[in-house]
Structure 1
């Protein structure tokens, strides 16, 4: 695809320069490691101009230094989503914003619904600063949190198609809640990591109906593409090129594809040309 591209979900792991905290629950190793230099080579090989770096709970937990270092040395190529405690202050968030962070990760799929029931004050601070609340839920976890997210007024960015259960169809409550949030005008969904919404091998055809439903509900003006590189805990081999080719197959309309790959993420996250 000749369309200019932005990858809206990648992680950087560089334990040689930024060691993992000793008490972290999971330490990526081997092929899971992906340094800033390796990311740059991957993006260059596929014509991807920018990337949104997501601070991983795996490996680094609340330590954003590896991600912030990559942003600082990227000459504007990268922006970030940080991992912070629920009591992160307005000043701390402002410092992250000044360093190129555009949002904060709420990893409900990892930490659970109950943990984020207390996220109201954090969401209010994100709203004040215009930062994104990047939410990763799975199955029906969005249902109990939807009122909190809606009432907060914060901008909402959902990971990996909302991670619906591939065996429960389009009508499952969590996915219907995600589709309904399109009406707020401040929710965006990443078309990414179909492996997390599939019980079939690549190209994960059982996940395609969820993608099509999202395209219809959100339109390309509120959808972005992402790879989830370097494919942490992948159940089978994943390669960057086939992911891009699959996206082209799922979104055959050139104008819609350009919007999701370039125009929409550039507008939403403030990337330059």
Structure 2
């Protein structure tokens, strides 16, 4: 399969915003390198190599101390690249994996021992076939005893159908990228209102990442800010943020990760909100033993 993804930004800026100690990038990826960690044959896209060493250098430049790696569909259910990165991190990295419906208890325990604290389900057309709803129910029940959560990635127009299923699951639910609303339609659009209603249930969390994905105006993503700020100010104890590096499936205007960090001055406009978003909340979900 041809490599159709853009390379990540070659020289991201140093942000003006000084992040609090312990700040976490709660949504990013490692891809390959393919020579060591091959991509899944059934993948719908081929990313550029984006190894752990490059991510470490980026985080040092941005002022980020901790990392949550999210398994992406291009690696399928082979979590090896992610587990290798976590093992190299000296405890500063956790993971969200992807598993098959018939995953063994022994494999789930191996993932837990390797630093995984949740699994991801995709309901996004360009990433291939939707997660099977019966498998979602079964897997959620199986990961509950481990204290894990489920991460759900969906297109905004899917939420109306998905919400009843999500409300039945016996684990915390983390919603990716603000539920991917169309930023040009404003915060009063129906899918975003549905997301706000869902967030009234304290089992739900949301990532205020993906400004570059929901924008219609492009950089500096001003049209995405009201969505993120609404979520941060209304649900300050259940919001997370991440760069989404290396930004798979972005077709133009590859984000400057330093600029994404500086956008936080508008998304979380007080020191208290910023600390909850970047330090306190990810600690509760991924490093509860440190609290």
Q: Name the TM-score, length of structure 2 as normaliser.
A: 0.86
1:107 to 115, 122, 126: 122
Structure 1 residues 72 and 264, CA, compared in 2 at 3 Å: closer, same or farther? same
**Is contact 1:138–1:165 with CA below 8 Å preserved after alignment?**
no
Q: 2:68 & 2:205 partners in 1: Cα distance?
A: 14
Contact in 1 for aligned 2:19/2:64 (Cα 8 Å): no
Partner deviation per Cα, 1:147-183 (whole Å, 9 max, x = no partner)? 1111112110111111112233333333222212222
Deviating more after overlay: 92-101 vs 108-117? 108-117
Ranges in structure 2 where 5+ consecutive residues have no aligned partner: 1-17
The root-mean-square deviation of aligned C-alpha atoms, in Å, is 1.9
8 Å CA contact 2:225–2:266 kept in 1: the answer is: no
State the match for 1:7 in structure 2. Answer: 25
- 1:18 touches 1:65 (CA, 8 Å); kept in 2? yes
> Within the alignment, does 1:40 sit opposite 2:56 as a pair?
yes
Unaligned 5+ segments in structure 1 are none
Q: How much does 1:227 deviate?
A: 0.3
**Secondary structure class of the residue paired with 1:48:** coil
Quick one: which of 240, 258, 277 aligns to 1:224?
240
- Asked if structure 1 preserves the Cα contact closer than 8 Å seen for 2:229 and 2:266, the reply is no
Greater shift in the superposed pair: 83-92 or 123-132: 83-92
What are the superposed Cα offsets for residues 3-25 of structure 1, whole Å, 9 maximum, x if unpaired? 12100011111213212234433
The count of aligned residue pairs is 268
- Please give the alpha-carbon distance, in whole angstroms, between the structure 1 residues aligned to 2:244 and 2:222: 18
Quick one: distance in 1 between partners of 2:131 and 2:285?
A: 29
Q: Secondary structure at the match of 2:86?
A: helix
- Counterpart position of 1:182: 199
Matched, 1:67 2:85: no
Query: Residues 126 and 175 (structure 1 numbering): CA distance in 2 closer, same or farther, change over 3 Å?
Result: farther
Aligned structure 1 segments of 4 or more residues deviating by more than 6 angstroms = none
- 1:170-199 C-alpha deviation (Å, 9 max, x unpaired): 333332222122222111111111111111
Matched residue, 1:51: 67
